[in-house]
Structure formats: C-alpha cells, structure tokens
Amino acid sequence: MRDHTVIVPDLRGMGLSARPASGYDKKTQGADMAGMLDALKIDKVDLVTHDIGNMVGYAFAAQNRDRIRRFILMDAPLPGVGPWEEILKNPLLWHFRFGGPDMERLVAGRERIYLDRFWNEFSATPAKFSEASREHYAKLYAAPGAMHAGFAQFAAFDQDAIDDKAFLTQGKLTMPVLAIGGEKSFGPTMATVMRFAASDVSQGVIPNSGHWLMEEQPEATVKMVRNFLDAGQ
C-alpha cells in the first residue's frame, strides 16, 4: 500500500516474536499492540486482522477505542461473543482443545503434517496455499518453543471469553467495522458475530475462498479492504 504506513506485527510467541511463558490471553496481547504503537509514536490506526489476530484486535480496540479509525476482521470468531458456543461444536475446530505436553510430543518433528491439515481442510482450493508458504511457516513452527506458544494461543480461549464478555459490558465498539468471511468458511457469520460487539458493522464475503483469504483470493480481498478503508479518507 503505497499511500499507507503498514505495520505487521508477529503476535506474542508467533513468527519471530519472543516466546514468553505466559500472556497469551488476548487482553494482554492487545496491550502488546498498544505498547508497540506507543513505541512507534503512532496514535490512531486503521486495524486489519485475520484469525487469532481478530481476537487480539478486538481486545486492543475494546481497550483503546479512541485509537481505531476503522476495523476490519477476517474469518475467525471472537471467544465469548455471539454464537461462540455453537461455533465450538464444529468438529473441524478440534484443535481449539488440542495442546499440552503430550500433544507437543506428538507434533514435534511433524510440524508440517500438523499444519498441512489447516491449509488443506480450511481452504476452498488447497493448492492456492503455495508450497513456498507452507515450507516457510513449517520452518517457523519447528523452532524451539514455537509450537508450545501456538498451543498457548488456543489454551487461552476460556480466559479470552471471560475478558470479551467483560468488554461487552462496556458497550459496543462504535468505529466502522467490516466483517469479512470466506464463502467456504465463516462467510456471513462474521458479520453476525460482530453485530454483538459493534454498532456499525458492514458485511463482506469473499467468493470461492475458504479461511485463507489472502492466499486464496488476494485480489478480491485487497479490493474489499481498500474500498472500506478508502471510504474513511
């Protein structure tokens, strides 16, 4: 984006970020985002998030409502918000409860096998998640402590649900929100979820896409994101 400053942080424990022993609840990670922006001397932002980034983004927005101009969330629910309990019943989401020392032993040295399952089952067209990307992420998750940190993100969901419900008692978000779902994934359910948490919600659905919107339908996804952000200029 030549006309924006783009900041793309690795969440706590993810990618090349540090892997502390605790703090994987999304409220804490929302504070991480605020601290990062403070360090960069950036006050207000447009927020674009995907997957667990949605959960961190909501926690950040709920705690820093005056810092967000527009908020785009893509294809993942929020713990404790709207139809969360029904979403948890989806058998495809068994990984939400998968973790612990024995699970780490099962996955150790087999990170690519474990991760391929996400890229294959959650894609409308698995071949669109490239081999280069698969190798890149598998290498990152094979690093010491990386899979433990990844499991910790999911293990925090119960606390996240408690925190999100507390945020809801403080009132809905009032900034414009665009909730985008892949047609073959969360689809319009994203907007259903966000209407429990925000008062100004627009719905977006990316055709012929599963969960991995930017890998599967990058042009359509970028166009939808840009149109929403540009409307606020």
SS (H, E, C) the chain: CCCCCCCCCCCCCCCCCCCCCCCCCHHHHHHHHHHHHHHCCCCCEEEEEECHHHHHHHHHHHHCHHHEEEEEEECCCCCCCCCHHHHCCCHHHHHHHCCCHHHHHHHCCCHHHHHHHHHHHCCCCHHHCCHHHHHHHHHHHCCCCHHHHHHHHHHCHHHHHHHHHHHHCCCCECCCEEEEEECCCCCCHHHHHHCCCECCEEEEEECCCCCCHHHHCHHHHHHHHHHHHHCCC
pLDDT at 2 over 80: no
pLDDT at 16 over 90: yes
pLDDT at 176 over 90: yes
User: pLDDT band at residue 233, thresholds of 50, 70 and 90?
Assistant: confident
Mean pLDDT of all residues belonging to the chain = 97
What's the confidence (pLDDT) of residue 101?
A: 94
pLDDT at 219 over 70: yes
Mean pLDDT over residues 60-65, rounded? 98
What's the confidence (pLDDT) of residue 27?
A: 98
User: pLDDT band at residue 3, thresholds of 50, 70 and 90?
Assistant: confident
Question: Can you tell me which residue has the tokens 């977006």?
Answer: 204
Question: What proportion of the chain, given as a percentage, has pLDDT over 90?
Answer: 97
For 30, the token pair is 């929302």
Mean pLDDT over residues 90-101, rounded? 94
pLDDT at 4 over 90: no
pLDDT digits (tens, 9 = 90+) for 147-167: 999 999 999 999 999 999 999
**Residue of 64, 63, 52 whose CA lies nearest to 10:** 52
pLDDT digits (tens, 9 = 90+) for 68-80: 999 999 999 999 9
Asked whether the whole model's pTM tops 0.95, one would answer yes
Q: Where are the domains of the chain?
A: 26-230
Mean pLDDT over residues 44-49, rounded? 98
pLDDT at 1 over 70: no
pLDDT digits (tens, 9 = 90+) for 184-206: 999 999 999 999 999 999 999 99
Instruction: Write the CATH number of the domain with boundaries 26-230.
Output: 3.40.50.1820
What's the confidence (pLDDT) of residue 24?
A: 98
Q: List CB contacts of 133: < 8 A, sequence separation 6 or more.
A: 215
